[in-house]
Structure 1
Amino acid sequence: MLRVLAVDDEKPLLEELLYLLRSDDRVLSAEGACDATGALRRITRALESGPDGADAIDVVFLDIHMAGLTGLDIARLLAGFAQPPLIVFVTAHEGFAVQAFDLKAVDYVLKPVRPERLAEAVRRACDHLGRNAAAAGPASAGTAAVPPAVPAQHRPAAAAAGPAGAGPAAAAAADRAQDLIAVELGGVTRFVAIADIAYVEAQGDYARLHTDAGSHLVRIPLSTLEERWAARGFVRIHRRHLVALRRIDELRLDAGTTSVRVGAAELQVSRRHARQLRDLLMRQATG
Structure 2
Amino acid sequence: MLHVLAVDDERPALEELAYLLRRDSRIRQVSCADDASSALRDLSRMLVEGERLDAVFLDVRMPGLDGLDFTRLLTAFAEPPHVVFVTAHDDCAVIAYELGALDYLLKPVRPERLAESVRRVAVAAERAGPPEDARDPEDEMIPVELGGRTRLVSRRSVTHVEAKGDYVRLHTPEGGYLVRMPLSALTKRWEAAGFIRIHRSTLVASAHVTELRFDGGRAAVQIGDELLQVSRRHTREVRDRLVRKFHRPEEATPPTENTPNNN
Q: TM-score range by the shorter chain?
A: 0.5 to 0.7
Say if 1:21 and 1:30, in contact at 8 Å, map to a contact too.
no
Aligned pairs (5 A) from 1:34-49: 36=43, 37=46, 41-43=52-54
Query: Which SS does the other structure have where 1:258 is aligned?
Result: strand
Counterpart residue identity of residue 189, structure 1: T
Contact 1:5 1:61 in 2 (8 A): no
Query: Who is 1:32 aligned against?
Result: 29
User: What is the CA–CA distance in structure 1 between the aligned matches of 2:192 and 2:69, rounded to whole Å?
Assistant: 23
1:177-200 C-alpha deviation (Å, 9 max, x unpaired): 961111110011110000000000
CA distance in 1: counterparts of 2:171 and 2:29, whole angstroms: 33
Q: Which residue is equivalent to 2:225?
A: 264
CA distance in 2, matches of 1:252, 1:79: 40
State the partner residue of 2:168: 207
Match for residue 184 of structure 2? 223
Distance 1:181 1:222 in 2: 14
5+ long unaligned stretches in structure 1? 9-15, 44-56, 63-70, 89-102, 105-120, 131-147, 156-162
1:209 Cα deviation after fit: 0.5
Task: Specify the alignment match of 1:247 in structure 2.
Answer: 208
1:104-129 deviations in Å (ceiling 9; x for gaps): 8xxxxxxxxxxxxxxxx997232794
Q: Which has the higher helix share?
A: 1
CA distance in 2, matches of 1:74, 1:257: 46
Q: Distance in 1 between matches of 2:174 and 2:22?
A: 50
For 1:126, the equivalent position in structure 2 comes to 110
Distance in 1, matches of 2:73 and 2:169, equals 24
Please report the TM-score for the alignment, with normalisation by the length of structure 2.
Answer: 0.56
SS at match of 1:125: coil
Q: Distance in 1 between matches of 2:106 and 2:185?
A: 34
User: Judging changes above 3 Å, is the alpha-carbon distance between structure 1 residues 30 and 125 closer, same or farther for their aligned structure 2 residues?
Assistant: farther
How large is the Cα RMSD of the aligned pairs?
4.7
Identity of aligned residues (%): 37
* Cα 1:176/1:184, change in 2 over 3 Å: farther
Closer/same/farther in 2, CA of residues 190 and 74 from structure 1, 3 Å limit: same
Structure 1 CA distance for aligned equivalents of residues 75 and 191 of structure 2: 30
Distance in 1, matches of 2:222 and 2:214, equals 11
Contact 1:86 1:125 in 2 (8 A): no
* Contact preservation (8 Å) 1:4, 1:60: no
Q: Is the 8 A contact 1:6 1:61 kept in 2?
A: no
Structure 1 residue 282: deviation in Å? Answer: 1.5
Q: Deviations over 1:204-252 (max 9, x none)?
A: 1110010111111111121121111111110100112100011111111
